[in-house]
Structure 1
Amino acid sequence: MPSPPPPAPEDLAHFSSGRARRAFTGVLWSGVNALVPTISGLVVFLFVSRILEPAELGYVSLAVAVVGTLGAFSPAGFGDALVQRSALDGRHLDTTFWLCLVWGGALYLGTVLLAGPIAALMREPMLNSLLPVVGLRLILDQAAVVPSALLSRSMQFRSLALRTLIASVMSMIVCLAVLQAGYGMWALVASQLVGAIVVCVVSWMAVAWRPGRGMDRAALRDLSHFGGFASGSRLISTINVDQLLIGPLIGSTGLGLFSFARRIFQMLNDVLTGALAGVAYPLLSSMQNEPDKLREAYLATTFLSSVLAFPCFVGLALIAEDLIPLLFGPQWTGAVPVLQWFCAIGLLSCIGILQAALIRAKGRADWWMWYQLVQQILTGAVIVLLARMGIVAAIAGIAIKTWLVWPFVARFVGRLLDLDIRSYMAQFALPLAGCAAMAAATSALDHGTALSGAALLCTKIAVGAAVYAAVLVLLGRKRLLELRAVIGAGRRRG
């Protein structure tokens, strides 16, 4: 007879007791998890942007996009299934580990074999050298799927934050050292690999579980539905359709400007939403059978996210024309309008992260996958149609498309929560009012003051922040106090 499956480790259970405490401390640690790589990335970016040309940044961005596309064809979504599933034992962990590791090895072999043909197809010879090196991430990322899922499921946000801290610092040191040695764009490649190695090693050091010898068919069946759709969702979201099309259709310089603006946008987005994004999925998954608590938690996090994120994205769009040449150099002035359109997308990205967490927590990974597929198809179509008009027209079309599609997700979220759409949309009224007042105040400075350069930039930031804060206090004091009371009660119950 086959031996019985090993018992599940204690840290595999959903944490109902102490859930609020874990969530609120998790927000703090997840904030660190988002802030540290952003700071280190900004330091690296300040040096890199002054040494590399847009075309060189475009080469590395394209290589990373190709590897990311190949890596998207992996079963990494089975890690999400480990987080979402209520009943879990050691067989599920072993099966997911070996499935991901073998798949990662196969993907890397394919990357090496296809490097030459891909470089020829995209008319970028540098890819033939870059892809085999950048592609090593495929094995490292897949090896870390199960330990990362265990840390997330057990809400060990401190361990996740420390892992990111170590990886970010090491990546920054290596990148700057290679850059100083005169190897140019290879500094970015070295940074990518070092970060992946550190994440993999530290993840395994943080968990006590170690894999068994093989896979189990019954466990694979248990995970296949959610894991399959979650993997499909990762496939769709990881494929950088925009970069893959912008490079061949608009050129390396256009891709470099796009990648520059996207990098700045992503750093800001990670800081603003990272604290909630890391906590939202495991927290909402643990509440999936408690509709009232789920609705309350979702509305609170949505409101907080928009209050914090909306003014930052609107503010960045308002000061981008002054900030970019001053901080990164005049060669990046062409990226200013691209960044401003990214900021328009950012208003929805901070909400979309929470929407994705809720939909997956409710077990609807299938719906989210199909939605992302539609978004990617529309993005590709927009780029193909607008490529001849240049990079600014292409990103403007992507932003407008994103806003036109978003209401469909909002309605679906309302159905999942049994929530009236007006109540949902009301969460955004206060931050939008504050942003409108902030925009009016900073715009007045352009015409009503003789300041310029750094002095004007600092004045805009100070005035914009003060005006936004004043609107929050005047119009939203009652809501903010109510939310503070709810949070305080949740902490006491936790």
Structure 2
Amino acid sequence: MTEPWVPAEHGSDRKGLGRRVARGFSWTVVDNWGAQLLGLVILVVLLRLLEAEEVGLVALATAFVALAQLFVDQGLGDALIQRPSLTRRQIDTAFWTAVATGALLTLVGFVAAGPLGTLLSEPRLTPIVQALSITFLLTAFSSIQMALLRREMAFRSLAARRLIAIAGGGGLGIAAAFMGFGAWALVVQQLAQAAISVVTLWAVSPWRPGLSGSWSDFRSLFGFGANIVAGDLLFYLGRRADAMLIGAFLGSAALGLYAVGYRVLEASTAMLITAARKLAFPTFARLQGDSERLVRAYGRMSRAMAAVTLPGYIGLALIVQEVIVLFAGERWSDSGPVATVLVLTGPALALQAYSGGLLNAVGRPDVTLRYRFLAAVLNIAGFLVAVVVFRDIVAVAVAYAVRGYVLAPVVLRWLQDYAGIPFRENLQGLGRIVLAPGLMAAGVLATKAVLADAVGLGLGLALQVVVGIVVYTAAMLALERALVAELWRFGLQALPGGVARRLDGVRANLLGRLGVPSRADELRGD
């Protein structure tokens, strides 16, 4: 009889961790970029078929449903990732806890949907919330499987699962929109995506639940997971209170416009930050007993994060208004200012990107909880002022951006105090990295001014993007060649050996013809 599968102990695979991190990162990039690009294509089609009020109605329902989603696995999935070693009974305990909680939340969702619709004076909300409550049970069947795959850094399987689910859910949602389902097309999309995700996860995961479990294992895992859930709850209230308050005070149409602008921030963050952030927790967890390697890994990852995210966010902020009009249509143009302000929050998000994963990995989720409490209080206070005093969705976006920059130095101080990360590891070398996207922005703005109305919207955007890429690349090669070389070597580690050697040969030949030394510092594998 085959022994049940149990994940390997942390620390048993440190020798090849550098390559595993590189391979994992490449697949998380495929996951996030593929998911976001596919999701944006689906969104553009749906925006052409739906009204702002319909989008806002489902966004409001989703805000409340997503709040309850936080309690499905009670943080036990993250506890399984953080534990140095696991038993089958611990995994079974986490799984059956999630299933029981998911079933209970589904029932609560059905019952509470009516009073919620009455409270918000929006009777159309009730059946939508009831339908979306089914996702609680679907999430319960996938959350522990997903945590185990993340622990094993099986990001290839996770990427395949997500892309298949998004494509399937999006296709059914678009079909429903064409058939005139209105807001319900978005409900169909979410339910189908959740169901397909469960099926694909179980198809790729080697783990199957048993009937074991114990109260002592639950208490042990929940001791860690409770802080995660509380932190996620505060994070959610801080991040999604905007949707609830806009829907309650300004209406579904205003929420629809805001939701499109916020979707731009979500997509850009997923493409620029989330891939690395997903990898950070399991990577740092493997290094939690080696402080020197942990500090070194954090510093390198932070510099790489800045080099990738700063040009992405700044460049997008310069063109996002035109992007929305080009792809979604003129009737969504009021989402542009919201998106611009929110995207400019990106650099602050990037500076804090690894903080939660690092603090959780070293066993300090309580500090993450403290940060999220402060963020939630500041966000909610700012959002209330924006909707009650200014009654403007752009003011809501400004409140969100201000909070991001106010708390950034607080996070850096806590990383030093509780995780042993000196300030210099966060700020070292950022001056030249910041200068490069500044030069890029000047180039893009100059191109925009020269072109003005001389070319069409699509061609003008394409030219601005090309100029931005060329200027930033040239600036980084001039200012931060060592960092560029390190990123290049890291990327090569993610590729099969033959492909990596051929690409490196092409690079060396090109630099040789330009008279530039081809020898770059090797990325030392950790």
Q: Give the Cα–Cα distance (whole angstroms) in 2 for the partners of residues 139 and 236 of structure 1.
A: 23
Moved more, 8-17 or 99-108: 8-17
Q: Give 1:188's aligned residue.
A: 186
Aligned to 2:151: 153
Aligned to 1:210: 208
**What pairs up with 1:37-186 in 2 under 5 angstroms?**
37-186=35-184
Deviating more after overlay: 202-211 vs 128-137: 202-211
Give 1:206-285 correspondences, 5 Å limit: 206-239=204-237, 240-285=240-285
Match of 2:435 in 1: 433
Comparing 425-434 with 221-230, greater Cα deviation is found at 425-434
Q: In 1, Cα distance between the equivalents of 2:358 and 2:422? A: 16
Deviation for aligned residue 1:40 = 1.7
| Distance of 1:260 and 1:95 partners within structure 2 | 39
The one-letter code of the counterpart of 1:162 is A
Q: Which position in structure 1 is the counterpart of 2:16?
A: 18
Q: 1:170 to 1:490 in 2, by over 3 A?
A: farther
Asked if 1 retains the 8 angstrom alpha-carbon contact of 2:92 and 2:210, the reply is: yes
Which whole-Å deviations, capped at 9, do the CAs of 1:33-92 have from their partners, x for residues lacking one? 112221221111111111211111100101111101122234431100000011310111
- Say whether the 8 Å CA contact 2:287–2:293 is kept in structure 1: yes
Q: Is the 8 A contact 2:74 2:222 kept in 1?
A: no
SS in 2 for 1:184: coil
1:475 aligns with 2:471: no
Give yes or no for the alignment of 1:410 onto 2:401.
Answer: no
Report the residue type matching 1:410 in the other structure: L
Aligned residue among 459, 465, 470 for 2:469 = 465
Match of 1:288 in 2: 288
Q: Distance in 1 between matches of 2:317 and 2:336?
A: 8
Q: TM-score by structure 2 length?
A: 0.88
The change in CA–CA distance for 1:324 and 1:484 in structure 2 (over 3 A counts) is closer
Moved more, 164-173 or 114-123: 164-173
**Structure 1: how far apart are the matches of 2:267 and 2:477?**
28
2:403 to 385, 401, 404: 401
Task: Indicate how the Cα distance of structure 1 residues 189 and 218 shifts in structure 2: closer, same or farther if over 3 A, else same.
Answer: same
Q: 1:391 corresponds to which residue?
A: 393
Pick aligned residue for 2:458 from 454, 457, 480: 454
Q: What is the rounded CA distance, in whole Å, between the counterparts of 1:94 and 1:367 in structure 2?
A: 28
**Unaligned runs of at least 5 residues, structure 2:** 494-520
What letter matches 1:16 in structure 2? R
The residue type paired with residue 264 of structure 1 is V
Separation in 2, partners of 1:218, 1:375 = 33
Q: Look up the SS of the partner of 1:213 in the other structure.
A: coil
Deviations 1:210-263 (A, max 9, x none): 223253022122212211111212222234211111111222222111100111
| Compared CA separation, residues 466 and 52, structure 1 to 2 (3 A) | same
- Structure 2: how far apart are the matches of 1:285 and 1:178? 43
Secondary structure (helix, strand or coil) at the match of 1:165 reads helix
- How many Å apart are 1:170 and its aligned residue? 0.9
Counterpart residue number, 1:314:
314
Structure 1 Cα separation of the partners of residues 15 and 486 of structure 2: 24
Aligned residues: 489
The letter for the 1-side match of 2:188 is A
Partner of 2:362: 362
Match of 1:11, SS state, is coil
1:5-55 CA distance string (max 9 Å, x none): x98845342233422221111111111111222122111111111121111
Alpha-carbon contact 1:302-1:427 (below 8 Å) kept: no
Unaligned stretches of 5+ residues in structure 1: 1-5
Counterpart Cα distance in 1 of 2:267 and 2:167: 16
CA distance in 2, matches of 1:493, 1:31: 20
**Given the two structures, how large is their TM-score scaled by the length of structure 1?**
0.94
**Is the CA contact 1:13–1:154 (under 8 Å) kept in the aligned structure 2?**
no
1:258 counterpart SS class: helix
Q: Distance in 2 between matches of 1:31 and 1:309?
A: 13
**Which amino acid letter does the alignment assign opposite residue 56 of structure 1?**
E
Give % identity.
29
After superposition, the Cα gap between the structure-2 partners of 1:90 and 1:491, relative to the gap in structure 1 and judged at 3 Å, is farther
Given residue 346 of structure 1, which amino acid in structure 2 is its aligned partner?
G
Structure 1 SS opposite 2:153 = coil
Q: Shift of the alpha carbon at 1:491?
A: 7.8
> CA 1:232–1:102 in structure 2 vs 1: closer, same or farther (change >3 Å)?
same
The DSSP-based 3-state class of the residue aligned with 1:289 is coil
Q: Distance in 1 between matches of 2:421 and 2:267?
A: 32
Give the Cα separation in 1 of the matches to 2:247 and 2:474.
44
- Find the residue that maps to 1:124 and give its secondary structure: coil
Name which of structure 1's ranges 116-125 and 212-221 shifts more when overlaid on structure 2.
Answer: 212-221
- The range that moved more, 19-28 or 271-280, is 271-280
Question: Equivalent residue for 2:518?
Answer: none
Contact 2:72 2:101 in 1 (8 A): yes
Extract structure 1 runs of 4+ deviating beyond 4 A: 482-494
